[in-house]
Structure 1
């Protein structure tokens, strides 16, 4: 099991483009509603920017898009729910890995909300602030350095998530692999020990219920955001 890969030379503009793309891929699959981007629209948006990225991240992203393309929305939604199963340690909620599905997660999630507010934005309504798709969109479009700090802090859970997705053969493994390629390890040995501890012990358990992340930005705005992110190189 190879959890940790060293990042290669990736420009910050490429990192932001990867983060915005993966935030779309990790949103709950659903049809268009009131101008919001549907499942097929999101895949097309990401497909349209892959060629602008270096191979180290373009390959995993393409693998994810190819693996997700062709499914009906209801099939994709069922696969999404089955894939990101808390009981099987495939959670997209970053603090779940360290604090479990418990009420003790409040302080950990508050750090995410505080980071958003310090950057001048409010946490999204109806979404938990530690959802990976939310963090990625924040880092890509609002405050890159703050987003990177959050991702680096939770790099061990990201590595475990990617490994779990890879073991089940999920296309989503490519999306998380692309994110990992953009996030340097602050302390490789410490990260390794943390990942081993989480893998052995597992998160604390106390179910309080978690909902999937949904895209709330109109498709035209998302397309413009991706063009802006990609054009800032």
Structure 2
């Protein structure tokens, strides 16, 4: 990973800075598409569970962010990495669990915000996994397909069109997480601020839906995934937040994170 990142950064430094929003009418150049992919991949890494492996990679990640061409998204990532590099690993782990595992409003499982605990979520997970397979991408099965780091990695690999379609589809959920992190004053709000810089701005309808979602929560219907064949993504019970499959980067020898979350 570090070699790939450094190569992408060296190439990016030779390019003029331009707005990276996908919503703009002018198509991205190949160089801008590469720079965008690097930003998305960095966000994917920074939103994964900060185990010892990720903590050890902080110098490379930080230097990569520092070498990015100036942009609003790069500035937000620099704000986050300044905090990220100054924390002890155990403190990072605690903050991550408290932020993303113990608070439903900032869960990283995107289909939850759109479908809640309903049968539709099982179908949405299956459809998303099929999208990955159709693009020739194997996630490795370590996480549910709607886990935001997984969705970001797919976007980085596949490109602004179909690759970023799941991000655009879940724009309201991303906006709600961003608001929750901002309300909690979590440094992870900077990563979401960088992400929203790359997405189309929310519409008035989006903002109304986010406000309603924040007030009422998503739909609720206690069901499992098995009737839709989605059991392959996680063990039984992982469907209902905040239960989840093991974090992407946690090695088998690492201590188990809290599974019975409320």
User: Which residue of 2 is the match for residue 203 of structure 1?
Assistant: 218
Question: How do residues 58-97 of structure 1 correspond to structure 2 at under 5 angstroms?
Answer: 58-85=74-101, 87-97=103-113
Matching residue within 24, 34, 43 for 1:13: 34
Distance 1:78 1:115, change over 3 A: same
What is the CA–CA distance in structure 2 between the aligned matches of 1:125 and 1:17, rounded to whole Å?
A: 23
Find out whether 1:28 has 2:43 as its counterpart: no
Counterpart of 2:204 (choices 177, 181, 189) is 189
Shift of 1:102: 4.9
TM-score, scaled relative to structure 1: 0.78
Question: What's the TM-score, normalizing by structure 2?
Answer: 0.70
Matched, 1:214 2:248: yes
Q: Does 1:138 align with 2:154?
A: yes
Q: Which runs of 4+ in 1 moved over 6 A?
A: none
The more displaced of 9-18 and 163-172 is 9-18
How many residues of Structure 1 are paired with residues of Structure 2 in the alignment? 203
User: Contact 1:113–1:122 (CA<8 Å) still a contact in 2?
Assistant: no
**CA distance in structure 1 between the partners assigned to 2:150 and 2:69 by the alignment:** 21
State the shift of 1:56 in Å.
0.6
1:124 & 1:189 partners in 2: Cα distance? Answer: 38
Alpha-carbon distance, 1:190 to partner: 2.8
Q: Distance in 1 between matches of 2:205 and 2:246?
A: 30
Aligned partner of 1:226 in structure 2 is none
Separation (CA, whole Å) in 1 of partners of 2:209 and 2:245: 26
Cα deviation code 1:162-202 (max 9, x no counterpart): 111111111110011101100114x7133223212212221
Cα distance, 1:85–1:30 mapped onto 2, change above 3 Å: closer
Q: Distance in 2 between matches of 1:164 and 1:113?
A: 27
Consecutive unaligned residues in structure 1, runs of 5 or more: 1-7, 33-37, 217-233
Quickly say closer, same or farther: Cα 1:212–1:195, change in 2 above 3 A.
farther
Measured after TM superposition, the shift of residue 83 of structure 1 is: 0.7
Q: Which has the larger radius of gyration?
A: 2
Q: What is the root-mean-square deviation in Å for CA atoms of aligned residues?
A: 2.3
Deviates further, 78-87 or 22-31: 78-87
Which structure 2 residue ranges, 5 or more long, are not aligned? 1-17, 21-31, 223-239, 251-262
Aligned equivalent of 2:188, options 154, 172, 179: 172
CA 1:133 to 1:161, structure 2 compared with 1: closer, same or farther past 3 Å? Answer: same
Q: Which segment drifts farther, 56-65 or 196-205?
A: 196-205
Q: CA deviation at 1:147?
A: 2.3
Q: C-alpha deviations, 1:107-127, integer Å up to 9, x for none?
A: 111221121111112333121
Deviation string for 1:7-35 (max 9, x for gaps)?
x8213333211110011101111123xxx
